[in-house]
Each structure stands twice: as C-alpha cells, then as structure tokens.
A = this chain, B = another copy of it.
Amino acid sequence: MDERKRKILKAVTRDYIDTAEPVGSRTIARRYGLGVSPATIRNEMADLEEDGYLEQPHTSAGRIPSEKGYRFYVDVLMTPRTLSRQELQKIYATLQAQQVLEDIVQESVRLLALLSQYTSIVVAPNLSRGTVRCLQLIPLDEFNVLLVLVVDPGFSQSRIVETSRPLTAQELARINHFFERRLAGAVLADIGASLIEELRDEIDDEALLSEALNLLIKGLRNIKKEQVFIDGTTHLLSQPEFKNIEKAKGLLNILDDERAVWSVLNRALGRSGILVTIGSENPHEGFQECSLVTATYEINGQVVGSIGVIGPTRMDYDKAVSIVEGIANSLSSLLSDPRRH
C-alpha cells in the first residue's frame, strides 16, 4: 500500500471515528490537506474498498473502515500519544491515596471510565500466586472461629468459619502453629492436595486434622474468587451505534454477567502489553460490533490482572490505548511498590 493510500485510509478512519458518519471524498480533500482533488481520492478509495479496507453502507454514501481497515489503522497507522508525566503523576497519586486493595482497583476503573469516556472493566488481582504472610485462626465462641488470611501484596481477608465440634485453645494453637510453620510463604494456589499429605504427617490426631483442613478449605473458598469491576456503563449509551435500545440492552446484559466479562478480559492475560480486539476478532458473540482495548498489570513482574475499555468498533483507539496503557502502568508500579505491603 503506497503512502497516499495510507494517508487516505488514515483520514477516513480518523474522520469516521470523530463523526460517526460515512466519509466522502470531498470531506477528505477539504479537511485533510492531501493536495489532490476529490476525484483522485475517489479512485483511491475505490481501490481501498476492493482491497477490503473500506466499505460502503450503500451505493451513494461515503466510506467507512472495515474491520480489516481498523486493524491496519491500529497496527500501522495510529500514533497514540503517551500520557504526559503530569497526567501519570495524577493518576498514580489518586490510586495511591486509596487504603485497601479493593479501593485501588475500584478507583482505577473509575479513572479509566472518566478519562476514556468508555465503559471500563478491571479484573481484580488474582492472588492465587500471592504468598501467605499470615494465616491464623482466632477463637470466637464454641462453634465459630475466625480465619484470618494476609496475602503478600497487601491483601487481607477474614471469614467466620463454623467448626463441627468445639475446639480447645490447645487444639487451635496446634493448628495455628502448623499453619505458621508450613504455610507462611506458601503460594496460595499451592495450598491444596500437595500440602494435605504434609499436614497428615504433622498432626497425628485424625479428627483434629480433618477439622483443620475443613476450616482451611471452607475459608479459602471465598477468598480466592476473582472480582470484576465495571464503571461507566452509561458511556455505551452515548455512542450512536447503541441508539438502538435493543443492542444496548444486549450488551449491558452481557456486562452484568461477571463470568462472561471475566473470560473476555482474560484473553489479554497471556500477552503482556496492550491488546486491541476488533469486532469479530472477539470469540464471544454479542461483542461482535464492539472493540476492546485491554492491558495487563503486574505485581513484581508477574501478571495478575487486566484492565480495559469497551466501545463500538468505531472507537478512538489512539485515546483508548494511551489511557489504558497509562493506567495499567500506574497500577503495576503502585502494586509493586515495596513501600506498600
């Protein structure tokens, strides 16, 4: 594809992203100084259509980019500006002001929606690869103990667990002692089959053993689940492509389903860096007319979650990419900051 064709494709794409109206040769000639007449542009556009980069909603309308066109635009033509140091600073500061992990995540999704003006999604850090810093049972009453868990990058959770029989202070101490000795430093995901054997060796009292395991399993069940945060859903409704209520409802319904959103976002988890998914590239039907711009974030170099924005295929990819990237990086460096815990 020669230089002029690229310029024209870029101009059409940008203009369509801005106006949501099919773009005609006249508009290109007037608005983007290419130094050639509309007729020439018409010829070039006919070629671009033949090659599959542009399409025409109907005979007498202007052109709009095809998915292939968007793909080329994203891969080759666009030049997302990176956020300025100031902007990054501001994002970082806002996130840093949060007290607990959940608030950090929630604030980042809020920021993402605010800055991008697109519906935004953040998958909370998967802590299954985090390490246990503290795991402990605290007696409450006869049949209840509190299981407290602190996982290494600054995440704590507690849960009341019912015991099947009253445990004496001694027994609790033994269990805690074992937890302390064996589980401190362990990776959360590994607490399972592998450790059961060890536990069996350690505690000779069969009943107590099963009780301890029971508590642990019950307690960990809720703790491990991944959470998805969404913000700015109403931005979708501002897009002219969702003027049709039925479409909007369909999409919002999917977004209400945490699992679906999660699986879509997790496509990003493999790659690091920015991933742009355009229209039907997304396997999930219902996202066919949408694009996603996602990025992963890390804790100490390990990918733990992903964030992204969702919009129509006619999305401002430049803007989306720069903001998603900026926030993902802020999040990574904040979560990896050793001064946090």
* Structural contact, B160 and A156, CB atoms closer than 8 A: yes
- Residues of B close to A154: CB separation below 8 A: 160
* Structural contact, B158 and A157, CB atoms closer than 8 A: yes
CB-CB under 8 A for A221 and B134, given A150-B146, A158-B156: no
* Structural contact, B222 and A100, CB atoms closer than 8 A: yes
* Structural contact, A99 and B221, CB atoms closer than 8 A: yes
Contact pick for A234, options B100, B218, B253, CB 8 Å: B253
* Structural contact, A245 and B249, CB atoms closer than 8 A: no
Main secondary structure of the interface of A (DSSP, over half): mixed
* Structural contact, A144 and B252, CB atoms closer than 8 A: no
CB-CB under 8 A for A146 and B156, given A252-B233, A252-B234: yes
* Structural contact, A237 and B252, CB atoms closer than 8 A: yes
CB of A243 within 8 Å of the partner chain: yes
CB of A133 within 8 Å of the partner chain: yes
- Residues of B close to A158: CB separation below 8 A: 148, 150, 156-158
Question: Once bound together, how far apart are the Cα atoms of A99 and B147, in whole Å?
Answer: 13
Smallest Cβ-Cβ distance to A252: which chain B residue: B234
Question: Once bound together, how far apart are the Cα atoms of A99 and B252, in whole Å?
Answer: 28
* Structural contact, A245 and B256, CB atoms closer than 8 A: no
Smallest Cβ-Cβ distance to A235: which chain B residue: B249
* Structural contact, A134 and B144, CB atoms closer than 8 A: no
Question: Once bound together, how far apart are the Cα atoms of A232 and B233, in whole Å?
Answer: 13
CB of A181 within 8 Å of the partner chain: no
Smallest Cβ-Cβ distance to A98: which chain B residue: B222
Question: Once bound together, how far apart are the Cα atoms of A133 and B238, in whole Å?
Answer: 49
- Residues of B close to A141: CB separation below 8 A: 341
- Residues of B close to A146: CB separation below 8 A: 134, 148, 150, 156
* Structural contact, B249 and A237, CB atoms closer than 8 A: yes
Smallest Cβ-Cβ distance to A102: which chain B residue: B222
* Structural contact, A234 and B222, CB atoms closer than 8 A: no
CB of A136 within 8 Å of the partner chain: yes
Question: Once bound together, how far apart are the Cα atoms of A146 and B134, in whole Å?
Answer: 10
- Closest beta carbon of chain B to A171's beta carbon, Å: 18
- Residues of B close to A99: CB separation below 8 A: 159, 218, 221-222
- Residues of B close to A187: CB separation below 8 A: none
Question: Once bound together, how far apart are the Cα atoms of A100 and B146, in whole Å?
Answer: 12
- Closest beta carbon of chain B to A221's beta carbon, Å: 7
- Closest beta carbon of chain B to A54's beta carbon, Å: 29
Smallest Cβ-Cβ distance to A221: which chain B residue: B99
Smallest Cβ-Cβ distance to A147: which chain B residue: B156
With a 10 A CB-CB cut-off, give which of A144, A160, A162, A233 has the most chain B CB atoms. Answer: A160
Please give the residue numbers on chain A whose beta carbons come within 8 Å of chain B beta carbons, in ascending order: 99-100, 103, 133-134, 136, 138, 140-141, 144, 146, 148, 150, 154, 156-160, 162, 218, 221-222, 231-234, 237-238, 242-243, 245, 248-249, 252-253, 256, 341
Between-chain CB contacts (< 8 Å), 12 pairs: A99-B222, A136-B138, A140-B150, A140-B341, A146-B148, A154-B160, A162-B341, A233-B233, A233-B256, A238-B249, A243-B245, A245-B248
